[in-house]
């Protein structure tokens, strides 16, 4: 949904069911029937519809399992889908999205609304009713795309309804399949707000949406998930906020995005000549809209060093922001290049990062590229060193369970296993122990976030089993 709220206790308490049009009573009845009323929807003027806990959960506990509300996939054999693709191609100035978004809207029309459309299965009136309750911006008039869809494909439909359904799928859908590409929507889960420090996490079991407790939840707490992927939660506040604005159309103001707080994903070395060793964290940006996701000097002006305690001046902040820009360019260079960089370049670029950055997401992204480069050279010792730095950053930058950290630990375990093949028998034992430790740390996180049967967990368990066999030889 295009807004974000913190899950702080006692903040934004319930203020009734709101206008009848927002459907809070219907949502709660659905939640009572399907999930025993474990979450209650409420309405506030400031935040709209939110879900709060009616019971407690401990970290790792399953909250609910929800079946899809509606699933739509591409259908290359369908005459209506072929016509839609043709319209999108010939009138791309009016069709802002990929054909599948519009196809989802068409396939959310009822049989009555689809009279005259060829090859469309559509949705039941009850499914459409629930879809129309999902968040979308107010629609006063249809887009040219919606008008053309009605004219050419669904002549019995209302263009306003088509436009609303387009926006609903854009703002509320989840990826369902790749081949053919498909999207799904979920009803109850869609009323959970975003937080960059969420207390819940969702994953798939088949087509079902499973919600788990990510941080302990008490009665009355708002239940929030992340609209960002796991690695997105490690990004700097300007990047997270811009990504959410571009994809979900809101400016995040959750507890990690509150203005003028330390951004623990943007740590640089103190530039003071007499210091050069403390860490300076940028401040989170002002609330409200931003021009773009640029890491600005203003975020660093007045920030204090952890070692010398002195504040950054405007000229110092400008120099630090210029270093961030240079590192971003370096990350882009490595990401876009398909050439194997020479050893000397790897060393010089890493020296630049070490000189100016301490706890910074761009340094982490740079180390990710270096890990790939050293892995291709089979220099697993260098790869291990960088993976250890990445794991340390993830722990320091994000306050809680992190899938990104778990997967970095898994990669570090893989690296220790690879190193064991290059060592003598005495050193192998230590490498096996290090790999076991990394896999164990990854599993501690993954089991809590995704449950014992998820492939993320079973994949690491399989590696553990192989490691035991290798160690016993």
The token pair that represents 268 in the structure block: 């640089």
DSSP labels for 302-326?
A: T-BBTTT-PBPPHHHHHHHHHHHHH
In this prediction, residues 90-115 reach a mean pLDDT of 96
- Residue 169: pLDDT band with limits 50, 70, 90: very high
The token pair that represents 471 in the structure block: 């160690």
Proportion of the chain above pLDDT 70, given as a percent: 96
Q: What is the pLDDT of residue 428?
A: 84
Residue in 159, 133, 363 with CA at minimum distance from that of residue 269:
363
Residue 110 scores a pLDDT above 80: yes
Non-local (6+) Cβ contacts of 378 within 8 A are 418
Q: What is the pLDDT of residue 10?
A: 35
- Average pLDDT of every residue of the chain: 92
Q: Strands, E, within 137-259: which ranges?
A: 174-178, 181-185, 193-194, 200-205, 208-213, 224-225
Q: CA 286, CA 284: separation in Å to the nearest integer?
A: 7
Report H helices in 209-250: 237-248
Non-local (6+) Cβ contacts of 70 within 8 A are 107, 108, 123, 127, 131, 184, 185
Non-local (6+) Cβ contacts of 192 within 8 A are 50, 51, 200, 211, 223, 224, 225
Q: CA 173, CA 463: separation in Å to the nearest integer?
A: 34
Non-local (6+) Cβ contacts of 325 within 8 A are 295
Q: Which of 10-24, 134-148, 286-300 has the lowest mean pLDDT?
A: 10-24
Q: What is the pLDDT of residue 6?
A: 35
At 172-183, the pLDDT tens digits run: 988 899 999 999
At 246-290, the pLDDT tens digits run: 988 889 999 999 999 999 999 999 999 999 999 999 999 999 888
Residue 8 scores a pLDDT above 80: no
Residue 9 scores a pLDDT above 50: no
Residue 100 C-alpha from the chain's centroid: 21
At 292-321, the pLDDT tens digits run: 889 999 999 999 999 999 999 999 999 999
In this prediction, residues 234-247 reach a mean pLDDT of 95
Q: What is the pLDDT of residue 413?
A: 96
At 407-423, the pLDDT tens digits run: 999 999 999 998 888 76
In this prediction, residues 435-449 reach a mean pLDDT of 97
- Residue 437: pLDDT band with limits 50, 70, 90: very high
Q: CA 201, CA 7: separation in Å to the nearest integer?
A: 13
In this prediction, residues 352-359 reach a mean pLDDT of 97
Q: What is the pLDDT of residue 5?
A: 38
Q: CA 164, CA 442: separation in Å to the nearest integer?
A: 42
In this prediction, residues 89-112 reach a mean pLDDT of 96
102 neighbors 95 (Cβ within 8 angstroms): yes
At 377-411, the pLDDT tens digits run: 889 999 999 999 999 999 999 989 999 999 999 99
Proportion of the chain above pLDDT 90, given as a percent: 81
Residue 235 scores a pLDDT above 50: yes
Residue 229 scores a pLDDT above 60: yes
Q: What is the pLDDT of residue 13?
A: 40
Q: CA 39, CA 57: separation in Å to the nearest integer?
A: 11
């Amino acid at each position: 949904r295009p807004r974000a709220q913190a899950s702080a206790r006692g903040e934004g308490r319930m203020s009734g069911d709101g206008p009848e049009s927002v459907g809070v009573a219907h949502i709660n009845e659905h939640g009572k029937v399907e999930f025993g009323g474990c979450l209650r929807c409420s309405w506030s003027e400031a935040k709209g519809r939110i879900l709060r806990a009616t019971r407690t959960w401990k970290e790792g506990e399953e909250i609910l399992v929800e079946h899809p509300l509606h699933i739509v996939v591409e259908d290359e054999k369908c005459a209506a889908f072929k016509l839609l693709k043709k319209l999108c191609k010939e009138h791309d100035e009016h069709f802002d999205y990929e054909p599948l978004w519009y196809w989802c809207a068409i396939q959310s029309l009822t049989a009555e609304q689809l009279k005259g459309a060829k090859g469309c299965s559509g949705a039941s009136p009850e499914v459409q009713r629930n879809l129309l309750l999902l968040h979308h911006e107010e629609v006063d008039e249809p887009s040219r795309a919606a008008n053309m869809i009605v004219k050419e494909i669904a002549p019995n439909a209302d263009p306003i309804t088509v436009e609303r359904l387009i926006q609903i799928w854009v703002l509320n859908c989840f990826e369902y399949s790749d081949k053919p590409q498909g999207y799904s929507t979920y009803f109850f889960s869609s009323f959970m707000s975003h937080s960059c420090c969420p207390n819940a996490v969702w994953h798939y079991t088949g087509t079902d949406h499973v919600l788990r407790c990510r941080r302990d939840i008490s009665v009355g707490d708002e239940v929030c998930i992340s609209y960002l992927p796991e690695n997105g939660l490690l990004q700097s506040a300007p990047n997270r906020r811009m990504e959410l604005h571009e994809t979900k159309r809101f400016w995040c103001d959750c507890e990690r995005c509150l203005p003028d707080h330390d951004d623990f994903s943007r740590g640089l070395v103190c530039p003071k000549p007499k210091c050069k060793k403390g860490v300076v964290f940028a401040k989170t940006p002002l609330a409200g809209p931003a021009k773009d996701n640029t890491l600005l000097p203003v975020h660093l002006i007045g920030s204090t060093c952890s070692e010398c305690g002195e504040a950054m001046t405007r000229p110092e902040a400008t120099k630090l922001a210029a270093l961030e820009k240079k590192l971003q360019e370096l990350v882009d260079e490595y990401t876009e290049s398909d050439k194997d960089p020479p050893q000397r370049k790897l060393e010089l670029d890493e020296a630049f990062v070490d000189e100016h950055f301490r706890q910074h997401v761009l340094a982490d992204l740079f180390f990710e590229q270096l890990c790939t480069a050293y892995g291709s050279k089979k220099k697993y010792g260098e790869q291990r060193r960088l993976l250890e730095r990445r794991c340390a950053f993830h722990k320091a930058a994000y306050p809680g369970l992190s899938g990104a950290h778990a997967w970095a630990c898994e990669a570090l375990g893989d690296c220790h296993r690879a190193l064991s093949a290059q060592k003598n028998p005495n050193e192998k034992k230590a490498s096996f122990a290090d790999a076991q430790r990394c896999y164990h740390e990854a599993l501690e996180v993954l089991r809590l976030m995704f449950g014992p049967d998820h492939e993320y967990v079973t994949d690491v368990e399989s590696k553990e089993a192989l490691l035991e066999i290798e160690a016993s030889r």
